[in-house]
Structure 1
Amino acid sequence: MMNETEWKAQRKKAQANYELKKMLVGAGRATAAEVEEARRIFDALKAYQPEAPGVDSPCVDRPAVPTPAPKTAAVESAAVVPGMPVPEFTKLLEELTIERQEYHKQMCLRSNRLGDYPDETNLKDLVDEIQEYKAKRNAVAEKIAYLKANGRLPATPGPADDNAPEVQESAFLANLPADRYELNKLLVNSLMPKLYRAKKGLAGAESELWKAHYRKEMAKAKAAVDAAKRQLSAMA
């Protein structure tokens, strides 16, 4: 969450970008879609509620509150013990803690770059990355809290039909721009850079945990690029 200083800086940048796009569209150097996107970002920042003074910065890594599993009357007062061998429990806790710290670091590195760009820069992709790492950090933190409280990880639900690869691709295609120009712009400015970042991350990953993470991210990004390219070819 942004504090008031960060919020004001981002709001100022978004307003400048919106005004610039409005001027450029008259000169044929920007599209109506770009103006609308700039307006949407500016409106979202105007409505944003910055954190109150004294609230911890989003780059202060605080553990999540433990989430105990539902207890029956028979075990209401029983102490929580690991539901797995202690060495395995300790190793899992250590791995999750490292994973959370890495997500937190990546989020903060990107957050600290927000002030490095000119006011007219569209920072949507960078903000999206920050939110993505924040969500991943929080998800791992919840796992850690649950593990500490219950001695095990939450049960993983079975795969649902709507998580099938063909269903996911169908939903992805349905959300792609119908305009060839806008689709090509999405491919060049967003989808392909994400694939590049995933490949770069995999090349620089040192632990098996992060190698597995970037392989998964690279596979998802490549699937998105391939799907967009097929859609683009179909529009030719």
Structure 2
Amino acid sequence: LICFSLFILILFFENYSSFFFQSQHNKKMVLNDEKTSILAKLLAGMCGHAVEGHSMASALEQQCLSSAVYSVLFRPLLERFEMRDPSALRTFRTALVQAEREQEGFLCLLIKHVLSKSQLDVSLHESLLRLQGTACSDDLKLTNGGAVVQEVGQRATVLRAILARIPNEIGDRRTFLETIKEIANSIKKLLDAINSLIPLLSPELQPLVDQRKRDFVKFSKRFSNTLKEYFKGEPPESVFNSANQLICQIVLFVKIIRENIIL
């Protein structure tokens, strides 16, 4: 999946960078914000028809998966092009983010659309979950706010790493059962860290963080229910999907802390 997506990005970048970033014929440069807007509209239009008719649950799934697609797939690949043309890459990266903002779930739909057209036998949920194990930990780091805040970031990082092991261990029942115990213990430790943090927050911030905590608990219970269904015969794909959504909630929680916390 990484190599395939890299090929798609290379192909897109080779064909469109000269058009959007610099005209070789008239030597005219388009303003950065205009370039970004044009490219974002092109990107968003590529999969616009695919969003229509999606249920609320599906929309939430697309949003969570798009977050994972960008952080563990697109961002590392874009960084490989950074030395080639930093200015062009910044425009392309901004356009991807803007396209996702204008049409939630775009990045996920783009990958799904390309995979369906290529007829490759690739599980998007499984591949993304595997990639979470090698994802940059910056999005879960909390360097400010003292030991209590940093503990939340550390616990979140550990939980994501354990969840990312699921694709490799789900085939061995005994190993997988031990992994489930690790996940449950890691969830408890993260919640303990969150509960230690909340009383230290300002009255204005506490409700926001508490809501994110409730969302995390809800998705943790959903993950637990998915595991029960898996052991009753459901395919592992549902477990991969649920684990990805739980990781999404972890990232969103840490993001709220990073953007708002002042102790």
Tell me, yes or no, whether TM beats 0.5.
no
TM-score (norm: length of structure 2): 0.27
For the pair shown, the structure with the greater C-alpha radius of gyration is 1
TM-score (norm: length of structure 1): 0.29
